[in-house]
Amino acid sequence: MNLRSALAYALAPALFAAGLSAQAATPKPIDDVDARAAALVQQLTADERLSLLHGPMAVTMAGIIAPRDAIPGAGHIAGIPRLGIPNLAETDASLGVAWALGQRKDGATALPSGLAMASTWNPALLREGGAMIAREAHSKGFNVLLAGGVNLVREPRGGRTFEYLGEDPLLSGTLAGAAIAGIQSEHVISTVKHFALNAQETGRNHHDARIAESAARESDLLAFQLAIEQGQPGSVMCAYNRVNGVYACRNDFLLNRVLKQDWRYKGWVMSDWGATHGVEYALSGLDQQSGEQIDKAVHFLAPLREKAAQEPRYAARIEDMNRRILRSLLAVGVDRYPPTLRPIDFTTNATVSEHLARNGIVLLRNEGKALPLDAARIQHIAVIGGEADTGVPAGGGSSHVQGEAGPALSRPLGGGNPMGEFFGEHFHRSVPLKALAARAPKVKFAYRDGRHVEDAVLAAKQADVAIVFATQLTTEGLDVPGLSLPDGQDALIAAVAAANPRTIVVLETGGPVQMPWLTQTAAVIEAWYPGARGAEAITAILFGDANPSGRLPLSFPSSVSQLPRPVLPGTEAQDPDFRDDPASWQGFQIDYDIEGSDIGYRWHARRGQQPLFWFGHGLSYTSFETSGLTVLPGAPLRVEATVRNTGDRAGEELVQLYLQSLPGDSPARGATRRLIAYERLDLAPGESRRIRLTVDPRLMANWSDGGWQQVAGRYRIALGRSAGELHDSVDITLPARRWAD
């Protein structure tokens, strides 16, 4: 041991203690966090060693009482004051400091939904958003943000689709990694969740996701792997469901083998809230029991103590569990930069959210340049539906964020279910009608709520342009039954479009929807749940103050018949009450081997299906041409291409590179399609630039016999305007290669 690490050993507790009182103690080197964490563990008493391993929900509701010193939020883990180890104050989630199921009224800045942010395909923006919400968390006393949702959208009807980052492992993994890095740059620990294959809410506590290892490694696990490599999250949250018969939080394969052994993950695994069903979970790799009041017992306290007294492997695990938690605290600097209560500049933070929303809005259709609107040439606009006179919608559940003045409108699901109060439809106080009117003060706006189709049609007929806002409630706890817009909105849009050819539809949905009226409309934008200043972002796109640059992070199937599972698994067994007795859970299996690693667009390509909109689709007010795809010599695979803005206004283009075929492809299996690299760039009119893309070798390989395998032979790669419109392909020959991770 050298002097420096010896000193760090000796000083570790003092540093923690100093961190508690001094605002910003002199930053200490963190390159020896492993040694410092190990040394700290040696100073813990047997009881203290159990303290960091479990904790309650930090809310008082439905028979649950939060600890007195807890900050209202998702969870609380008691620290060890004697050694200066702080409490862990945990808050949800990826979209901002959440409302703690109604317990927090102090307001926070809501980012747009995960899908909206993913539509930016811009890691730098996600990093900025992560840093902003972490600063807010830190200013409210939190040092752990339960952000980093990276489950791939295998089920577009999933209630939490809005929280996640789409259907592709490269896009989701790199964006989640960037968001996590942003969060942790503010000395707030981020999680990555829900590990793994937690793709639907129906039966989420007990369904069994069945999938071959190779398919999981190439898809859902790869998304986590990339997010962990790039974001280095302090913790991983294991999921509620089972994977191949075993609960994710006691899944030795997922936690010990893949995460800790193969990926050499050094942080800790926390359970999802109420997902620890026994003390033996500790041996399978779970390090911390979260939300312990909703488990049957505090398994990681007395039962763990008893086990440790009898079995050395439990005692060894306890040491490892503590070391992992402390290591993450030190690595992220939670000790040196403790959270302090301070005021938040909501105005500045809202601009971060608005910037993400503007970049995440996707222009799906624009016939005859119906958009952008020219305020000088329009006298009268009818605004119809979607509560556009009230606010913009947000997703429900634990990730929901409420602004300073609370929601503009809330419709809890209710229904006598204790959780029903908390899962519902909410609207942020960012009002489309107001934002539009402020942007075009000379235009006359007529608003109709859309409940009466005749009334809406009349208003549309009298106007130069009709803008219909369409919303879709999605919430944690409940999947949507299909891909249609609810509440008769399809009929409303069709009727309005029939009455006014200049009908523009603004979708504010949690996930993909069908559009039976599509060809009748002049333009459609997908604004998702656009966050704290969503209305302003939508207005900027409609009037051309921002050039749309969002691209779909998931495909829009043309109907559920295109999905690998046209009927949502477990529909008949659905019980959205998460607090029911595990003994009553009727497990059911979901066969993810149907599509394997070919999720979304990859499935559509393999089946020769034409979805309504492909992954990667999105229009702009300018036009681009990408050409000259050239492969550079050497490994890893690097390519160059030239991108040119051929239109008359500045804009951002997304270069998408796909794998189109690989050795071993067969007509029986269907076409190959994989995103292997992407890059955005901003170009002035007429400007052209040569860009270089580097391909992660895992994306060219398959997982086979315990490792990545690149088969020798010919591979075809191609540029794509979307996953369904490839152009400019090049064939390359790669040698055989195998590697472990």
Q: How far is the CB of 95 from ligand BGC (least distance, A)?
A: 11
Three-state secondary structure call for residue 347: helix
**Single-letter amino acid, residue 533:** R
Give the list of residues 6+ apart from residue 493 with CB closer than 8 angstroms, or none: 468, 470, 485, 503, 505, 517, 521
Question: What residues from 665 to 684 belong to the interface with ligand BGC (CB under 6 A)?
Answer: none
Which CB atom, from 32 or from 272, has the smaller least distance to ligand BGC? 272
Pick the closer one to ligand BGC by CB: 579 or 738: 579
Minimum Å gap between C-beta 247 and ligand BGC is 14
87 phi and psi angles, rounded to 5 deg:
-60, 150
We find the least distance from the C-beta atom of residue 281 to ligand BGC, in angstroms, to be: 17
Residue count, binding to ligand BGC (CB under 6 A): 8
d(CA 544, CA 434): 17
- Picking from 675, 672, 662, 673, the residue whose alpha carbon sits closest to that of residue 709 is 662
Chain-centroid distance of CA 433 in Å reads: 29
- To the nearest whole angstrom, how small is the minimum distance from the Cβ of residue 163 to ligand BGC? 8
Nearest Cα to Cα of residue 248 among 196, 193, 298, 295: 196
Which residue, 109 or 190, is less far from ligand BGC as judged by CB?
190
DSSP string, 555-610: -B-SSGGGSSSSSPTTGGG----TTS-GGG----EEETTTTTT--THHHHHHHT--
Instruction: Scan residues 712-741 and list those touching ligand BGC (CB under 6 A).
Output: none
Six-digit token string for 428: 């942020």
Report if residue 164 touches ligand BGC, rule: CB under 6 A.
no
- Rounded to whole angstroms, how far apart are CA atoms 540 and 546? 5
Question: Of 115 and 468, which has the nearer Cβ to ligand BGC?
Answer: 115
State the DSSP string of 634-669.
SSS-EEEEEEEE-SSS-EEEEEEEEEEE-TT--TTT
Residue placing its CB nearer to ligand BGC in the complex, 529 or 678: 529
Q: Which two tokens stand for residue 323?
A: 């070391």
CB of 654 to ligand BGC, least distance (A): 29
d(CA 30, CA 600): 41
- Taking the complex as a whole, how short is the minimal distance between the CB of residue 32 and ligand BGC, in angstroms? 31
Min dist CB 101 to ligand BGC, Å, is 8
Quote the least distance from Cβ 274 to ligand BGC, whole Å. 7
Closer residue to ligand BGC (CB): 186 or 272: 272
| Tokens at 255, concatenated | 């936690």
**Residue in 92, 167, 201, 598 binding ligand BGC, rule: CB under 6 A:** 92
The nearer residue to ligand BGC, 93 or 222, going by C-beta atoms, is 93
Nearer to ligand BGC, 94 or 620 (CB): 94
Least distance (Å) between residue 396 CB and ligand BGC: 12
Q: State which of positions 123-152 bind ligand BGC (CB under 6 A).
A: 146
Q: Which of 4, 7, 40 is nearest to 335 (CA)?
A: 40
Helices (H) and strands (E) in the chain, counts: 17, 29
Is the Cβ of residue 93 or residue 470 nearer to ligand BGC in the bound state? 93
Bridging pattern class, strands 651-661 and 713-722: antiparallel
**Closest Cα partner for 193 from 112, 296, 93, 314?**
93
Which CB atom, from 75 or from 372, has the smaller least distance to ligand BGC? 75
Of the candidates 136, 168, 186, 272, which one interacts with ligand BGC according to CB under 6 A? 272
Told to check if 273 binds ligand BGC by CB under 6 A, we report yes
The minimum distance between CB 273 and ligand BGC, in angstroms, equals 4
Question: In this structure, what token pair is assigned to residue 398?
Answer: 């634990």
**Residues 158 and 110 sit within 8 Å (Cβ to Cβ):** no
User: Based on CB atoms, which residue is closest to ligand BGC, 407 or 477?
Assistant: 477
Q: Is 201 in the site for ligand BGC (CB under 6 A)?
A: no
Cα→Cα distances 80→13, 20, 40, 310, 334, Å? 10, 12, 11, 25, 14
Residue 641: strand pairing partners: 691
Q: How far is the CB of 92 from ligand BGC (least distance, A)?
A: 5
Please report the DSSP string for 426-491 in residue order: EEES--HHHHHHHH-TTSEEEEE-SSSHHHHHHHHHHSSEEEEEEE---BTTB--SSSS-STTHHH
* DSSP characters over 35-103: HHHHHHHHT--HHHHHHTTB--BS--BTTB---TTPPSSSEEE--BGGGTBPPEEEE--TTSS--TTTT
Residue closer to ligand BGC by CB (options 113, 597) is 113
Q: How far, in Å, are 485, 489, 720 from residue 618 at the CA level?
A: 21, 23, 12
CB 643 within 8 Å of CB 651: no
Minimum distance of ligand BGC from residue 680's CB (angstroms): 29
Interaction between residue 238 and ligand BGC (CB under 6 A): no
Q: In what order do the strands lie in the sheet with 638-645?
A: 624-632, 638-645, 688-694
* In the complex, minimum distance from the CB of residue 102 to ligand BGC, in angstroms, rounded to a whole number: 12
SS3 call for 404: coil
Among 93, 132, 226, 554, interactor with ligand BGC by CB under 6 A = 93
Least separation, in Å, of the C-beta of 160 and ligand BGC?
8
161, 398, 475, 549: residue in contact with ligand BGC (rule CB under 6 A): 398
Give the residue carrying structure tokens 């488990």. Answer: 295
Minimum CB distance to ligand BGC, residue 93 (Å): 6
Q: Which strand (E) or helix (H) includes residue 191?
A: strand 189-195
Cβ proximity to ligand BGC: between 294 and 691 the closer is 294
Candidates 616, 594, 624, 634; CA nearest to 673 is 616
Interface pattern 623-652 for ligand BGC (x via CB under 6 A): ------------------------------
CA distance 365 to 358: 17
Q: Which is nearer to ligand BGC, 228 or 639 (CB)?
A: 228
Shortest CB 216 distance to ligand BGC, Å: 20
Least Å distance, CB 192 to ligand BGC, is: 11
93 vs 643 by CB, closer to ligand BGC = 93
Q: Which residues, numbered 582-611, are part of the site for ligand BGC (CB under 6 A)?
A: none
Task: Output the smallest distance, CB 456 to ligand BGC, in A.
Answer: 38
CB nearer to ligand BGC: give 195 or 601: 195
Closest CA to 578 of 717, 461, 380, 418: 418
Binding mask 55-74 for ligand BGC (x = CB under 6 A): -------------------x
When the beta carbons of 275 and 568 are compared against ligand BGC, the nearer one is 275
CB 510 within 8 A of CB 113: yes
Identity of the residue, 272 or 526, whose beta carbon is nearer to ligand BGC in the bound complex: 272
The binding site for ligand BGC (CB under 6 A) comprises 74, 92-93, 146, 193, 272-273, 398
